[in-house]
Chains A and B, each alone.
Chain A
Amino acid sequence: MNVKGFSFVYPMLMSLTIFGGSLEFVTVSMLLSSFAPLQTFILTLMIQARHLFYGISMLEKYKNTGWKKIYLIFGMCDESFSINYSTDVPEDVDKGWFMFWVTFLNHMYWFTGSTIGGLVGSLFTFNTEGLSFVMTAMFVVIFLDQWLKEKQHISSLIGVFASLICLMIFGSDNFMIPTMICIIVTLSLLRKPIGDKEDSV
């Protein structure tokens, strides 16, 4: 945003309120084009639709977390969801507080990072090319952990292949919604075989 001529206030406020990396990047390009509220809103829903899946997955885990629940849902970005879902919290640790701190620290790292980047981003002179691979690496590790933990890999494989096929058909800008539909349909069709095995997990 620094490069595009925006004040640091923009990334600072967006990191606090939207708290979702991929959309914030798109928001920058929206702010640079002409005012189109309806398009903005629809595009947001499409980019963020994957959170519906996170919500469905966290219905049980976020139960009984009291007032923290509102914040947990507010801060349910890709990273918070992935960590909160996949971490086995030790018995003697309060799950609600554990997930609260994961979400809060994520939020604060993102907020401080975005603000510092907005303030002094252009002063960084070392070559950061490739640093964004950190995201890919994190999801690969979480995927691998899930793979090693699960009794069958049907769902994991559906996720990878539905995404790949939709990516090839629809291209990188439009493949997420078709992918999500494919995943829901396939999982629903395979409810019997997967469901039976899930019960034993």
Chain B
Amino acid sequence: MTITQQIITIGLCVIGTMITRFLPFIVFKADKPTPEYIQYLGKALPAAIFGMLVIYCLKDVSVFSGSHGLPEAIAIAVVIALHLWKRKMLFSIAGGTLVYMILVQFLF
């Protein structure tokens, strides 16, 4: 690829991304009331999105080969346990990640 082609490629990634981020705000303008159905989706969607993002992060984990997703399962259990215990976001994230790193580097 030439430099120009590279710039076009990156530019298209930027434009595509911005379309997906701006489109809802352009379609449903702030000065007009948002349709009730969209308002409902706005309230009901986030919970589903968070579930989707968790699975998205785990999409390349193979349950049938390698370590069978055990390090992920253990580390997620640690995150949940730490979070239920202290409710400190950074503490739960750091603790779980540390456990995961130890697991994949030394045990699995």
Mark A residues whose CB is within 8 Å of B: 10, 13-14, 17-20, 23-24, 27, 30-31, 34-35, 37, 40-41, 44-45, 48-60, 62-64, 69, 73-74, 76, 78, 82, 85-86, 127, 129-131, 133-147, 150, 153, 155-160, 162-164, 167, 172, 175-176, 179-180, 183-184, 187-188, 191, 194-195, 198, 201
Q: For residue B9, give the distance in angstroms from its CB to the closest CB of chain A.
A: 5
The interface residues of chain B lying within 8 Å CB-to-CB of A159 are 47-52, 55
Q: Which residues of A contact B72 (CB under 8 A)?
A: 133, 136
Given contacts A82-B50, A143-B51, A187-B44, 10 further A-B contacts (CB under 8 A): A10-B10, A45-B19, A49-B20, A52-B20, A55-B22, A69-B30, A130-B97, A131-B101, A137-B92, A159-B50
B13 partner, pick from A27, A34, A78, beta carbons under 8 A: A27
What is the number of contacts between chain A and chain B, taking CB atoms within 8 Å?
246
Contact in complex: B16, A63 (CB < 8 Å): no
In the complex, A31→B58 CA distance in Å?
26
State the Cβ distance, B10 to closest chain A Cβ, in Å: 6
Asked if B14 and A184 sit within 8 Å, CB to CB, the answer is no
Can you list 27 A-B contacts with CB-CB less than 8 angstroms, sorted by A residue number?
Answer: A13-B10, A18-B17, A30-B9, A37-B8, A50-B49, A50-B52, A51-B17, A51-B20, A51-B21, A53-B49, A130-B97, A133-B75, A133-B97, A133-B100, A134-B93, A137-B96, A138-B89, A138-B93, A141-B79, A155-B45, A155-B48, A157-B51, A160-B51, A163-B52, A180-B52, A183-B52, A191-B44
Interface centre among B1, B23, B30, B46 (most CB of A within 10 A): B46
A146 is contacted by which of B8, B28, B38, B47 (Cβ under 8 Å)?
A: B47
Across-interface contacts of A139 in B (CB, < 8 A): 50, 53-54, 56-57
B21 adjacent to A187 (CB under 8 Å): no
Q: Is the CB of A130 within 8 A of B20?
A: no
The answer to whether B44 and A41 have CB atoms under 8 Å apart is no
Contacts of B37 in A (CB 8 A): 188, 191
Cβ of A149 to closest chain B Cβ, rounded Å: 9
Among B25-42, those with CB < 8 Å from A are: 25, 28, 30, 34, 37-42
Query: Per DSSP, are chain A's interface residues mostly helix, strand or loop, or mixed?
Result: helix
Docked pose: A44 CA to B40 CA in angstroms: 27
Contact of A27 among B10, B28, B30, B54 (CB under 8 A): B10
A41 nearest CB across to chain B (Å)? 5
| Pairwise interchain contact A158-B20, C-beta atoms closer than 8 A | no
Contact B40 A136 (CB under 8 A): no
- B16's nearest neighbour on chain A, judged by CB, is A44
Among A19, A20, A53, A140, contact of B45 (Cβ-Cβ < 8 Å): A53
Could you tell me if A176 and B56 are in contact, using CB atoms closer than 8 angstroms?
Answer: yes
Q: Are B43 and A167 in contact (CB under 8 A)?
A: no
The answer to whether A31 and B23 have CB atoms under 8 Å apart is no
